[in-house]
């Protein structure tokens, strides 16, 4: 789902269009039954496909649930055993650390490049701006599985265009270099795929925010002798801060659960030094059939993300309240 809701936060949702706050709106129609009737189908679906499975996720995490239990449709209650097992496992803490570092690096790079691109977009001529926006949207529209396949081909150890370019530029001799032999360079490629795919959404959204900043404010500051960095820090940034909070927290949430890029890139069998939390949960459940263990890992993962999710949801609510 990493790429999934990327389109969700369009400029309109972020409240970038200057919506008029009309008093009559919320006070408008009062009706007791209709809204609940309208919600009923959605609530029914959400309970069925989300609430019920989530209850099961929690329940299985306290059970021994392997292949036998899957066939018998019934787990054996083991209390906190699953949690004890993973929290007492040093390998698990390595994976947590790896996931955190991976997230920090990916979010950092995504935000850095996206902000720079957004700042450039504001300063470009019209033609170049449209060209770059079209290019970004194109990258945005590339399905993640396709993106992974392309990068696999570009870093192919024999005929990859990457190895050729780096060798030709005399940066390093990468003839017949396999990037995935070493998990550090392997993760460099995975980071490239993730960041490349994440830049368009972040850059376009930040650009939409920046273009709403009144030009007079910037000019006034410049005429008063503010340096470009000062203008950004004191004028532009405070105005687009809500968007930064949203994009950063969304990126953290998405990058913390990266799965496809690792799994498909390493052809469905990543070695343990490529495990991120989501991969570990997946392998525990669907490779070694320890569903209880996998569920416990997932629960820990959700708990770790909870504070970031909280920041994100709160910011979204605040912005959506402004809309009304």
- For residue 4 the two structure tokens come to 């999934």
The answer to the question of residue 10 lying near other proteins (CB under 8 A) is yes
Instruction: Please choose, out of 78-86, 104-112, 236-244, 289-297, the segment that lies near other proteins by the rule CB under 8 A.
Output: 289-297
3-state secondary structure of 49: helix
Query: Binding string to other proteins for residues 191 to 230, with x set by CB under 8 A, is what?
Result: -----x--xx------------------x--xx-x-----
Q: Taking the complex as a whole, how short is the minimal distance between the CB of residue 71 and other proteins, in angstroms?
A: 9
Please answer whether residues 204 and 133 qualify as being in contact, where contact means their C-beta atoms are separated by less than 8 angstroms.
yes
Our CA dihedral for 50, 303, 278, 51, rounded to 10 degrees, sits at -10
Q: How far is the CB of 17 from other proteins (least distance, A)?
A: 6
Structure tokens at 177: 């270099």
Q: Which of 70, 80, 112, 188 binds other proteins (CB under 8 A)?
A: 70
Is residue 205 packed enough to be buried (19+ CB in 10 Å), middle (13-18) or exposed (0-12)? buried
When binding is defined by CB under 8 A, the residue of 86, 109, 121, 198 that contacts other proteins is: 121
Residue 64 β-bridge partners: 76
- DSSP-derived 3-state class of residue 10: coil
Whether 284 and 293 have beta carbons less than 8 Å apart is answered as yes
CB closer to other proteins, 48 vs 238: 48
**Window contacting other proteins (CB under 8 A); options: 77-85, 140-148, 178-186, 229-237:** 140-148
Smallest distance, Å, CB 225 to other proteins? 7
**How does DSSP assign 210-256, residue by residue?**
HTTS-HHHHHHHHHTT--HHHHIIIIIHHHHHHHHHHHHHHHHHHHH
Give whichever of 69 and 239 is closer to other proteins, judged by the CB atom: 69
- Residue 155 CB-density burial (10 A; 0-12 exposed, 13-18 middle, 19+ buried): buried
The only residue of 96, 109, 111, 147 in contact with other proteins, by rule CB under 8 A: 147
Site for other proteins in 30-49 (CB under 8 A): 30-32, 34-36, 38-39, 41-43, 45-46, 48-49
Question: How many residues at the interface with other proteins, by CB under 8 A?
Answer: 121
Query: Per CB under 8 A, which region of 77-85, 89-97, 103-111, 157-165 contacts other proteins?
Result: 157-165
**Chain centroid to CA 307:** 15
């Amino acid at each position: 789902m990493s790429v999934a809701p990327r389109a969700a936060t369009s400029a309109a949702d972020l409240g970038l269009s200057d919506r008029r706050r009309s008093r009559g709106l919320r006070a408008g129609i009062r009706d007791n039954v209709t809204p609940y009737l309208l919600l009923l189908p959605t609530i029914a679906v959400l309970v069925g496909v989300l609430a019920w499975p989530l209850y099961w996720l929690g329940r299985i995490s306290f059970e021994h649930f392997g292949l036998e239990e899957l066939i018998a449709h019934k787990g054996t209650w083991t209390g906190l055993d699953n949690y004890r097992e993973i929290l007492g496992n040093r390998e698990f803490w390595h994976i947590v650390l790896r996931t955190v570092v991976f997230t920090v690096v990916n979010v950092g790079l995504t935000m850095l490049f996206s902000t720079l691109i957004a700042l450039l977009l504001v300063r470009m001529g019209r033609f170049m701006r449209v060209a770059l926006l079209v290019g970004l949207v194109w990258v945005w529209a590339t399905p993640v599985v396709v993106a992974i396949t392309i990068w696999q081909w570009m870093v192919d150890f024999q005929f990859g265009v990457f190895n050729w370019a780096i060798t030709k530029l005399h940066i390093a001799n990468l003839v017949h270099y396999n990037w995935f032999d070493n998990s550090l360079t392997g993760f460099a490629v995975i980071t490239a795929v993730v960041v490349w795919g994440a830049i368009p959404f972040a850059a376009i959204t930040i650009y939409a925010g920046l273009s709403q900043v009144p030009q007079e404010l910037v000019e006034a500051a410049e005429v008063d002798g503010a340096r470009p960095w000062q203008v950004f820090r004191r004028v532009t940034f405070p105005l687009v801060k809500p968007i930064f909070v949203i994009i950063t927290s969304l990126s953290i949430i998405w990058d913390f659960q990266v799965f496809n890029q690792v799994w498909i890139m390493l052809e469905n069998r990543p070695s343990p030094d490529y495990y991120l939390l989501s991969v570990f949960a997946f392998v525990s459940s669907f490779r070694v059939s320890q569903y209880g263990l996998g569920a416990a890992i997932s629960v820990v993962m959700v708990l770790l993300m909870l504070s970031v999710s909280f920041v994100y949801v709160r910011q979204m609510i605040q912005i959506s309240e402004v809309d009304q």
